[in-house]
Structure 1
């Protein structure tokens, strides 16, 4: 930043603006030139975009001396020129896509931003535009692989996050002021968003890319789902029991940093209390995975069935679970003290660790119960690890049962010892 300020100080402001405008135009123009050569069509490239940026910059500078109408008329004339060029019959050989025209208009506007000395903002915006332009092929590939169910899930998520959530009342209700509709809706949206990310990572990165990688990405959504799928497959393919066991373990390892992130979102102070125990438990799982994993061959049966990326009933159900746990935590602490919180955590961990993690993070917002809250969260993870161990014992191969029994048994024991020592 100091170096940049030094450049501004020793370079004439107009020349500096021209150079920045030139750079912005070259950044976008280079991508458009490459796209034009690749598709053998296009109307603007590495020369046109810098000229347009400098044009926008120059008009922006002139408005300071004359009138702002000069810029307004200039931009309007430029848009009309592009429109007439776009619909001209002579341009059929160049194609009729709108992307390049919109990029030219955006480049003109970036030039005007530079004239108002929004240097960093203009450059950052240019980088974002270039990124969007260069990802065209990847976007098309992704969209072509999206199912109608996934598209509707995205639409439903957008409706919940953008249309319903903002209108929920941000007020507390009930005798103990525990119910806040906006707060509950926000939690549902945040958890659903994290699940969305995990779902599409599994779909487009992890699917059929190997047992371990798929398990790691699957753990971002549900390590229990990974355990359910991989335990069954270890019985179907006993020769791959070690690899499927490693997948179950590493998916569970992902659970710890995922919950740490979730806790941090709702209470930044609790992270320092979770960092050491979650770090130890993660390392134990990673070491066990490395011992088991020698070579993870790509297999056609590594795909994890994680269901719909956003099931409305599941989202609403999570909201109800969170409310129930919210009341359970409050009244358990009121009537039974610390022991009541641990009972709530053990029960909650059997079904879901997200809700109890969020609840305890908010419970300790006053800063007085951070150690207790972190121990309760660890107790919930121990309960969840026990569930996955039981799943493996019922559905897994003999080898998988022994491996998961040793690994998860160690994690559960370490977690219990840590809680007792604190």
Structure 2
């Protein structure tokens, strides 16, 4: 096995010094702004980085970790002494952020010299950013209460502890149920609630909802529909119109996503289907524009969920005026936003998806090839992307006629749109259902007409 040569040390040492200068510059500016006496500044951080670099060079030269350990201990001792001096000069001093940053700078400089420059430099940038954005970070933290924190912990546990333990393969004989992907759907729906929660608080109901819809629909327009409908049911009436507009935008993105998948797998299908997709997109976009751009009047009564109780938690309005259609600042949001970190509704929704996916797999296994349209309709109850890719590949390999594959995709898209309307009406209430009904009806009728003329 050929011996791996150490990288040239000059660029590594230069990177180490740059790390010290970057973090030190931020601390020097903080020191000047706060009029701190005796605090560590730019020169101290450059020297700390130099010490880390020298310690790493010595460790590498004699192939022993002890020189670097000694340097880290020495820097830590100096930092503690500096902290004691600073407290003696200013008794108001309570935090040790600068001192911890100095130790981190030493360690990052050593990491760069030890051959991990690509990791050390981004970490140094992240450290400097965390130091520089002290006040914005504090404002973000103050915006969350204890319930939000507990919910975030649930989401992190679900994402980084439960998800890696699940097998990423189908466990049933019909290759339908993948526990990893089903749980990933639970996390997605919950995370979309987080995106909407933060966006609405930061940018206001209208702009925040728009950002949530576009970003989330790139992954799952169904999840966007459920999240925004639940949010609209949990706040005052002024949130229903922006949420309905965001849902329609999500549906438009879904149709665009089908087009992208067809371009990637089988462009011949897109030649057949583009009028249908356009018929789905244009009415939804027109409805979204009408809902988002038309000024809102007096606050409507809160939309009450009807039906199965998807888990929306009602909250009391704070009594302020809504966004009124005039602005998007967070100060114009008129209601306290409900805690979005509820896993229960997302788990129930994923369970429903699992049942539908299993039924679709059974249908595809036992129905005749001519019944692919029915399979598409069944698949559309749960998802459109899967049947789109499946039909595109089947027609590309001539396992199915092009017109039959196109009809299956159309059936899936129409059924999926109807299912999402049902979800929105159930989770969002009668007002939401009424706002979405015109655009939904026009989209479905226009798509059916385009499919009849085209196919």
TM over 0.5: yes
- Specify which structure has the higher proportion of helix: 1
Counterpart of 1:5 in structure 2 is: none
Counterpart of 1:368 in structure 2 is: 394
**Residue 100 (structure 1) shift:** 1.8
Q: Secondary structure at the match of 2:174?
A: coil
Structure 2 residue corresponding to 1:382, chosen from 404, 417, 420 = 417
Q: TM-score with structure 2 length normalisation? A: 0.68
Specify whether residues 118 and 280 from structure 1 end up closer, same or farther in structure 2 by C-alpha distance, changes over 3 A only. farther
Alignment of 1:213-362 (within 5 A): 213-217=207-211, 219=213, 220=216, 222-223=224-225, 248-257=244-253, 281-282=280-281, 284-287=283-286, 289-290=288-289, 293=293, 296-298=325-327, 307-336=338-367, 337-345=371-379, 348=381, 355-357=382-384, 360=387
Distance, in Å, in 2 between the alignment partners of 1:244 and 1:332 is 38
Deviations 1:348-385 (A, max 9, x none): 3xxxxxx4247647x83994379667545422443146
Deviations 1:178-227 (A, max 9, x none): 3443343233223333332233222x224xx3x53244145346446756
Counterpart of 1:38 in structure 2 is: 33
Counterpart of 1:351 in structure 2 is: none
Distance, in Å, in 2 between the alignment partners of 1:106 and 1:377 is 54
Which range moves more in the overlay, 214-223 or 181-190? 214-223
Counterpart of 1:79 in structure 2 is: 76
Alignment of 1:23-34 (within 5 A): 23-34=18-29
Give yes or no for contact 1:249–1:407 (8 Å, CA) kept in 2: no
Counterpart of 1:415 in structure 2 is: 447
Give yes or no for contact 2:190–2:341 (8 Å, CA) kept in 1: yes
Distance, in Å, in 2 between the alignment partners of 1:171 and 1:289 is 38
Specify whether residues 83 and 164 from structure 1 end up closer, same or farther in structure 2 by C-alpha distance, changes over 3 A only. same
Counterpart of 1:130 in structure 2 is: 128
Alignment of 1:96-115 (within 5 A): 96-115=94-113
**Residue 267 (structure 1) shift:** 12
Give yes or no for contact 1:52–1:108 (8 Å, CA) kept in 2: yes
**Residue 157 (structure 1) shift:** 1.6
Structure 2 residue corresponding to 1:58, chosen from 30, 33, 54 = 54
Specify whether residues 262 and 314 from structure 1 end up closer, same or farther in structure 2 by C-alpha distance, changes over 3 A only. farther
Give yes or no for contact 1:32–1:44 (8 Å, CA) kept in 2: yes
1:176 lines up with 2:174 in the alignment: yes
Alignment of 1:134-145 (within 5 A): 134-145=132-143
Unaligned runs of 5+ in 1: 1-11, 238-242, 349-354
Give yes or no for contact 2:167–2:180 (8 Å, CA) kept in 1: yes
Specify whether residues 87 and 135 from structure 1 end up closer, same or farther in structure 2 by C-alpha distance, changes over 3 A only. same
Q: Secondary structure at the match of 1:356?
A: coil
Deviations 1:131-180 (A, max 9, x none): 22223222211221212222221111222223333333456434435344
Distance, in Å, in 1 between the alignment partners of 2:207 and 2:193 is 17
Specify whether residues 267 and 165 from structure 1 end up closer, same or farther in structure 2 by C-alpha distance, changes over 3 A only. farther
**Residue 60 (structure 1) shift:** 2.2
Specify whether residues 406 and 150 from structure 1 end up closer, same or farther in structure 2 by C-alpha distance, changes over 3 A only. same
**Residue 387 (structure 1) shift:** 4.0
Distance, in Å, in 2 between the alignment partners of 1:283 and 1:138 is 40
Give yes or no for contact 1:226–1:251 (8 Å, CA) kept in 2: yes
Give yes or no for contact 1:356–1:380 (8 Å, CA) kept in 2: no
Deviations 1:219-271 (A, max 9, x none): 3464467568879999x79xxxxx9757633431134437977999x999579
Distance, in Å, in 1 between the alignment partners of 2:347 and 2:127 is 37
Deviations 1:296-336 (A, max 9, x none): 31398855787441323213212211211111211232344
Unaligned runs of 5+ in 2: 1-6, 217-222, 296-324, 397-404
Distance, in Å, in 1 between the alignment partners of 2:169 and 2:199 is 36
Specify whether residues 205 and 331 from structure 1 end up closer, same or farther in structure 2 by C-alpha distance, changes over 3 A only. same
Q: Secondary structure at the match of 2:144?
A: coil
1:22 lines up with 2:17 in the alignment: yes
Give yes or no for contact 1:21–1:53 (8 Å, CA) kept in 2: yes
Distance, in Å, in 2 between the alignment partners of 1:405 and 1:312 is 29
Aligned length: 389
